[in-house]
Amino acid sequence: MDRILSGIKPTGQLTLGNYIGAIKNFAKVQQEGEAYLFIADLHALTLPIDPEFLRNNSRDLAAYYLAAGLDPKKTTIFLQSDVPAHSELAIILQNYLYMGELSRMTQFKDKSAKMKDEAIGLGLFAYPVLMAADIVIYDAKRIPVGEDQLQHIELARDLVHRFNNRYGETLVMPKGELVKVGSRIMSLSDPTKKMSKSDPKGDIYLNDSLEVMRKKIMSAVTDMEARVHYDVEKQPGISNLMTIMSALTGKSFEQIEKEFEGKGYGEFKRAVADAVCAEMEPYKARYEEIVKSGLVDDVLKDGAKRASVVAEATLKRVQKAVGLYNK
């Protein structure tokens, strides 16, 4: 059975982008293999974050995972920092990824763009090293992510290749995979930018009320073309709303174009808002139930135990391969 791995950083309120590109898909994927799903709290430290917020948000993220239908008996759900082998492995693997390639990572360039060199932490630069450790430590073959993370997975693949060439077959080669529709949901207020939870502007957060979600969709940036048509270059806002609708309803772009032929953007946006609310209403209710149940702490504790067994075995294998004494 293939191992499947994914994670999300508890850096901010989850967005509809995280839901469509990642979370919604996990529940389906967990049926297809042995899934490990973690909360990347160590990764959340790569930019300044309030400790209390990080603590609460980590638990909250676990509740959103569970609400999406993840079964903690089947899928191992845990905090990255509860499995110290990730960090130990990263210390070894950092020697097989190089400054040049790390400095070309889009996420690093985006996140550090407005920062002075003196303020950019080494952890932000070395992010893909820890991410590679997160992946290879579970011998994971399938890595479901949003499009923005593919570059990091390519780097992890380079690392596996390099490492195995040097030490013999030690690490399993991972492969990134995207959802068919919605692997890059764009911001509603600026459809040329990816929707991000660390971006405070006008995106749809899973903890927004349904009324607020509806309002944000109704005021999403569109264009002057006056037709519901999929064209990312000319109509990025409408194409993004079509993507959201398609991902949530299963309707194809052609079907959506036909359905709204000759109709105004107002009517189309109302239909997108209906689709989002129809999905979010029960999801938010399940989330509230899970928070009330107090289930999360037990799930995370049990998950860390199960994850540690696999992680420690891989760490040992790597320590042996590189020649660390008496492992």
Size of the site for ligand ATP (CB under 6 A): 22
Q: Tell which one of 9, 86, 152, 216 touches ligand ATP (CB under 6 A).
A: 9
Q: State which residue, 145 or 290, has the beta carbon closest to ligand ATP.
A: 145
* Cα→Cα distances 113→68, 116, 155, 193, Å: 34, 8, 21, 15
> Which candidate in 9, 24, 73, 111 is catalytic?
111
For residue 49, the minimal CB distance to ligand ATP (Å) is 10
The DSSP secondary structure of 66-92, one letter per residue, reads HHTT--TTTSEEEEGGG-THHHHHHHH
3-state secondary structure 208-275: CCHHHHHHHHHCCCCCCCCCCCCCCCCCHHHHHHHHHHHHHHCCCHHHHHHHCCCCCHHHHHHHHHHH
Residue 295 is encoded by which pair of tokens? 């289930």
Q: How far is the CB of 316 from ligand ATP (least distance, A)?
A: 29
Using rule CB under 6 A, residue 188 touches ligand ATP: no
- The residue among 241 and 318 lying less far from ligand ATP, judged by its C-beta, is 241
The token pair that represents 77 in the structure block: 């759900």
Answer yes or no: 180 catalytic. Answer: no
Does residue 58 interact with ligand ATP by CB under 6 A? no
* Active site annotation includes 73: no
63 binds ligand ATP (CB under 6 A): no
User: Which of residues 3, 5, 13, 22 is near ligand ATP by CB under 6 A?
Assistant: 22
Contact call for residues 35 and 265 (beta carbons, < 8 A): no
**Least distance (Å) between residue 256 CB and ligand ATP:** 19
Q: What is the rounded CA–CA span in Å between residue 287 and residue 208? A: 13
Interface with ligand ATP includes 8 (CB under 6 A)? yes
Say whether residue 195 binds ligand ATP (CB under 6 A). Answer: yes
Least distance (Å) between residue 141 CB and ligand ATP: 17
Contact call for residue 198 and ligand ATP (CB under 6 A): yes
Q: Which stretch binds ligand ATP (CB under 6 A): 19-27, 29-37, 84-92, 224-232?
A: 19-27
- Burial of 74 (C-beta count, 10 Å sphere; 0-12/13-18/19+): exposed
Residue nearest to ligand ATP (CB): 21
Check if the beta carbon of residue 59 is closer than 8 Å to that of residue 299.
no
Neighbours of 111 (CB within 10 A): 18
Question: 22, 176 in Cβ contact below 8 A?
Answer: no
Distance CA 102, CA 279 (A): 38
The residue among 82 and 312 lying less far from ligand ATP, judged by its C-beta, is 82
- Closest contact distance (angstroms) between CB of 272 and ligand ATP is 16
20 secondary structure, DSSP code: I
Residue with Cβ nearer ligand ATP (9 or 269): 9
Residues 243-262 that bind ligand ATP (CB under 6 A): none
- 17 or 315: whose CB is closer to ligand ATP? 17
What's the min distance (Å) between Cβ of 68 and ligand ATP? 13
Residue among 197 and 269 whose Cβ is closer to ligand ATP: 197
- To the query of whether residue 111 is one of the catalytic residues in this protein, the response is yes
183 binds ligand ATP (CB under 6 A): yes
Cα gap 310→183, rounded to integer Å: 29
Spatial separation of the C-alpha atoms in residues 34 and 77, rounded to whole Å: 12
Binding of ligand ATP by 296 (CB under 6 A): no
- CA dist., res. 75 & res. 178, Å (int): 19
Under the rule (CB under 6 A), what is the footprint of ligand ATP?
Answer: 8-9, 11-12, 15, 17-18, 20-22, 145-146, 148-149, 183-185, 194-198
Active-site residue list: 111, 194, 197
